[in-house]
Every structure is written in structure tokens, then in C-alpha cells.
């Protein structure tokens, strides 16, 4: 559905996007992650025809974004971070206006409008001007204008920016529903949003792609960063030496456990990728007569992966 090859964009001496290549199949929800200034918005603006790239190519549904840009725009719905709304218009008039810009036949506009109002949950605000709506409802109107022409692809740039927790949940659920029938590119730096909605994740840093995979694949790649935490009451002096010899343990950090007993120690066992020696650690404790008050594995989270790749 989307094929990107070697996209590069410069602003003066700054390389905003550096030789980016990726593909997105039909029906996938792609999370496009990166810190502020990483190049996410620039890439999305290139794909939606709002600005040209300096180098590289891209096709949307088989159409070239430069030579066949009108065909590309027919197939894309775009919601920028700041939704393009006319605050003095009421919701039905605005959607009719957008439908006519999109050249939807006049006899189809009402049906398209009714469908999108139902999908975006706008029935209760049809009588209001857009300027009177909450930020959450304005985002819904923004989504409605992006979808009024029933595009195959949705490009959403920070769709939950500035929303309260309840509004975020509502928009997130709407995006999940859209992902069942459309290809969606979702740009955000809110990591729980990605794990809740996306099938696949791209992480961009300083204009370069630094990771590509499903949430599960990225977690597997970072499995070497998993830590097994144990706390030993009245830990003997040789406890660390015994633990480091266990297969799968590559590094150990030692600290006080925080208990009143000053002889209790907490050990953080950094693990070799794909190995969890929890049973061997427990057996070691039994053989040595230690009293364990904690035995817990802490896997790398998406936050850990993101920080590692973008710091």
C-alpha cells in the first residue's frame, strides 16, 4: 500500500530526514515514534504531498507522490497535529464543505456525512459551532474531515495531543476501529498509545530509522536488557560470586534492600538475551541456605527500548 525508498529532506544545513525507507501493507496500523524534532512530521508531510523531498521516492497505492499527487491525495486522509478547522462553522456545514472540496457527488454527501458522524461520535454536537467544542470533539471533527471521502489510508499526526485521559481513550478506541478496515500511520510520542493501537512500530531518531518491528519483536530484540531482581536476607559475603557463575547472568549490581536488616542485599542480575535463569537462582539460594524475600524478572519495556535508541 505504501512504499518509501530513500527519502531525504534538508532545511538549510539541517538534515531533517535521512535516507528513510520502509513499506506498509494494506490493513496495518503503523506507529511512527520519535522524540520531538526527530523527523516524524516532515516525513508525513512528504507522504501526504504537503512538501517535496530532496531525494528519494514514495508510492501510495501504486501512485507516485510527485508525478501523480492528485491520485495520491484522493486515497489519503490526513489529520495534522493542529486540526484544520473553521471555528465559525457548525459541524454539518464544515463536513459538507470538506465533502465538496473532495468532489464527492452532491447526491452522496448526506450519506457520507451521516456515516462519518456516526463513526466519530459527533451526533450530540451537530448543532454547535466548532469553536464551541471541547478539544476532544474538535479532534473528532478533524478525524471526520480526514475520513469523509472514505480513503484507503489515514495519516494521523499526534491525534491525541492535548487531550485529557478520557478523551485519549475515546480517540484511541476510534483509531483501533479504523485499523480494522484501513491502513493507518499514527505519529506520536505517547508510548502507551502505540502499544494499545499499533500492529507495528517504526522509531525515528535524528532523521534516521533506528527500529522497525512489532511490539513483540522489539521486546525480543531488547530481551538482553531484562533484569532478574533478587533480595537475600542476611546475604553472605560470597553471594555475588555464587550468582555471577549462574548460566545466563552477564552482570550484577548490588544495593541495600531498604529493609531494616542492614545485612539484606538486593541484586540486579542483567540477563543474556533469551535466557531466564530464575529457577537456577532459586536452586542456588536453597543450596546455600539463603532466605529470598524477592525473586522478580523485569523485562525491557517499550519505554526502555525507546530511550535506548533515541538517547
Nearest to 159 by CA among 149, 147, 61, 252: 147
**Strand pairing class (2-11; 14-24):** antiparallel
16-19, Cβ contacts within 8 angstroms, sequence gap of 24 or more: 16/42, 16/207, 17/42, 17/43, 17/46, 17/53, 17/207, 18/206, 18/207, 18/208, 19/55, 19/56, 19/208
Q: What is the pLDDT of residue 304?
A: 74
Residue 185 CA to residue 26 CA, distance in Å, equals 11
Fold of 221-310: Alpha-Beta Plaits (3.30.70)
The residue assigned the cell 497535529 is 81
3-state secondary structure of 8: strand
Place of cell 466548532: 130
Per-residue pLDDT tens listing for the chain (311 residues): 899 999 999 999 999 999 999 999 988 999 998 888 889 999 999 999 889 999 999 999 899 999 999 999 999 999 988 888 999 999 999 999 999 999 999 999 999 999 999 988 899 999 999 999 988 889 889 989 999 998 999 999 888 877 778 878 887 888 888 888 889 999 887 777 788 788 899 999 999 999 898 877 776 665 556 788 999 998 898 999 999 999 999 899 998 765 555 578 999 998 887 788 999 999 999 999 999 999 988 776 777 777 777 87
Instruction: Pick the closest to residue 249 from 234, 227, 232 (CA basis).
Output: 227
Quote the pLDDT of residue 279.
93
Residue 90 has what DSSP assignment? Answer: B
Round to whole Å and give the CA distance between 162 and 56: 33
Q: How many CB atoms lie under 10 A from the CB of residue 89?
A: 16
Contact by Cβ (8 Å): 40, 32: yes
* Nearest Cα to Cα of residue 166 among 127, 133, 135, 211: 135
Whole-structure pTM value: 0.75
Tell me the three cell numbers of residue 27: 490493513
Closest CA to 305 of 224, 218, 227, 192: 218
| Angstrom distance (rounded) from CA 78 to CA 48 | 7
Contact (Cβ atoms closer than 8 angstroms) between residue 39 and residue 87:
no
Cell of 150: 472514505
C-alpha to C-alpha distance for 167 and 164, rounded to whole angstroms:
5
DSSP string, 182-227: SEEEEEES-HHHHHHH-SEEEEEETTEEEEEE-HHHHHHHTGGG-E
Residues sharing a CB contact under 8 Å with residue 293, sequence separation 6 or more, in sequence order: 231, 232, 233, 257, 259, 264
Strands (E), 119-196: 153-157, 183-188
Domains 2-220 and 221-310 share a fold: no
Residue with cell 468532489: 103
CATH of 2-220, picked from 3.20.20.140, 3.40.50.300, 3.40.50.10440, 3.40.50.1000, is: 3.40.50.300
Predicted pLDDT of residue 107: 93
Domain boundaries, the chain: 2-220, 221-310
d(CA 136, CA 142) in angstroms, rounded, equals: 10
Amino acid at each position: 500500500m505504501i512504499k518509501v525508498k530513500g527519502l531525504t529532506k534538508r532545511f538549510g544545513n539541517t538534515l531533517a530526514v535521512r535516507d528513510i525507507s520502509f513499506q506498509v501493507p494494506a490493513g496495518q496500523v503503523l506507529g511512527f515514534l520519535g522524540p520531538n524534532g526527530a523527523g516524524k512530521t516532515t516525513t508525513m508531510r512528504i507522504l501526504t504531498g504537503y512538501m517535496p523531498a530532496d531525494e528519494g521516492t514514495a508510492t501510495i497505492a501504486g501512485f507516485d507522490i510527485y508525478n501523480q499527487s492528485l491520485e495520491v491525495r484522493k486515497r489519503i486522509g490526513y489529520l495534522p497535529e493542529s486540526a484544520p478547522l473553521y471555528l465559525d462553522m457548525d459541524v454539518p456545514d464544515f463536513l459538507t464543505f470538506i465533502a465538496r472540496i473532495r468532489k464527492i457527488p452532491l447526491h452522496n454527501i448526506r450519506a457520507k456525512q451521516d456515516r462519518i458522524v456516526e463513526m466519530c461520535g459527533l451526533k450530540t454536537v451537530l448543532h454547535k459551532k466548532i469553536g464551541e467544542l471541547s478539544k476532544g470533539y474538535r479532534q473528532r471533527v478533524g478525524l471526520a474531515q480526514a475520513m469523509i471521502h472514505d480513503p484507503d489510508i489515514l495519516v494521523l499526526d499526534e491525534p491525541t495531543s492535548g487531550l485529557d485521559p478520557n478523551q485519549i481513550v475515546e480517540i484511541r478506541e476510534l483509531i483501533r476501529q479504523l485499523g480494522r478496515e484501513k491502513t493507518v500511520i499514527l505519529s506520536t510520542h505517547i508510548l502507551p498509545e502505540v502499544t494499545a493501537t499499533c500492529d507495528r512500530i517504526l522509531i525515528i531518531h535524528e532523521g534516521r530509522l533506528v527500529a522497525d518491528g512489532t511490539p513483540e519483536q522489539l521486546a525480543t530484540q531488547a530481551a538482553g536488557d531484562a533484569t532478574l531482581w533478587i533480595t537475600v536476607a542476611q546475604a553472605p559475603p560470597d553471594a555475588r560470586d555464587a550468582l555471577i557463575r549462574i548460566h545466563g547472568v552477564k552482570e550484577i549490581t548490588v544495593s541495600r534492600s531498604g529493609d531494616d536488616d542492614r545485612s539484606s542485599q538486593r541484586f540486579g542480575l542483567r540477563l543474556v538475551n533469551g535466557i531466564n535463569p530464575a529457577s537456577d537462582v532459586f536452586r542456588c539460594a536453597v543450596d546455600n541456605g539463603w532466605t529470598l524475600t524477592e525473586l522478580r524478572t523485569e523485562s525491557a519495556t517499550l519505554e526502555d527500548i525507546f530511550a535506548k535508541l533515541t538517547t
